[in-house]
Amino acid sequence: MLKSVLKEAAGAGAREILRFFNKSFTVSNKEGVNNLVTEADHAAEKAIIEVIHRHYPDHQVLGEESGASNGTSSIKWIVDPIDGTVNFAHGIPLNCVSIAIEEKGVIIMAAVLNPHLNEYFFAEKGKGAFLNDQPIQVSNETNAINACLVTGFPYTYINMPNGPLEIFERFVRKGVPVRRLGSAAIDLCWVACGRFDGFYEHKLEPWDSAAGYLIVEEAGGRVTDHEGQPFSVYQHKVLATNGKIHDEMVEVINNRKEL
């Protein structure tokens, strides 16, 4: 039942994305330059939450736009109605719905749906990860110097120690391709299916990382903080890789090793 409701909720959000995409809609700004929220974000989140509460009125929801809603259940839905809002607002089809289900502090199920590419990523804890119902797994690359990486930049990071520009430079100066797609959920899913070998970012929120985190792990990858410690969706720094380049990535990110 949870699995079918998760898919229904993701689909409801995706329909709102497509309804507004490349159309006229209102745009406002949150904290930080270019940290946008659109009319479509609110419409998609409303549609998603309506599906959840129609089936599970007692479940908790943590939404990017609406915040936390209380419920009597131990299950919490973590919702990003449009991950990649800046892309969406500029007509770039790299954006998605991202939904994770948490039970007693553990992410147990996740979905990421990019309706523009018709890609539906799904994972259930202990049961693997899938793209459009086909099993996926991480890449086999064993050396960071040969990896294809992806990252993102937070909206406020000027004074961040060991910040994103410094780490980015360590890789690109050695010729490592580092992409910047603008959607952490898609970045994580593309690590899970082997398109990227690793992803790191400095300042993600739970709704950015919760679904992709489980999808990477269920695809055979590894997700930690930047020090290689166990990951929590409620802390900001994330490193997700195929597992084979993970320890090396930790050393480079912390400037303890050169490629």
26 classed as catalytic: no
End-to-end CA distance of the chain: 47
Of these residues, 75, 82, 101, 107, which one is catalytic? Answer: 82
186 classed as catalytic: no
Of these residues, 41, 83, 201, 218, which one is catalytic? Answer: 83
136 classed as catalytic: no
**In whole angstroms, how far apart are CA 254 and each of 161, 163, 225, 232, 248?**
10, 10, 11, 19, 10
Of these residues, 45, 65, 124, 208, which one is catalytic? Answer: 208
Q: Cα–chain-centroid distance for residue 207? A: 7
Of these residues, 38, 41, 85, 217, which one is catalytic? Answer: 85
17 classed as catalytic: no
103 classed as catalytic: no
Of these residues, 16, 41, 64, 65, which one is catalytic? Answer: 64
DSSP 187-249: HHHHHHTTS-SEEEES---HHHHHHHHHHHHHTT-EEE-TTSPBP-TTSS-EEEE-SSSHHHH
Of these residues, 45, 65, 80, 187, which one is catalytic? Answer: 80
80 classed as catalytic: yes
**Residues tagged active-site:** 64, 80, 82-83, 85, 208
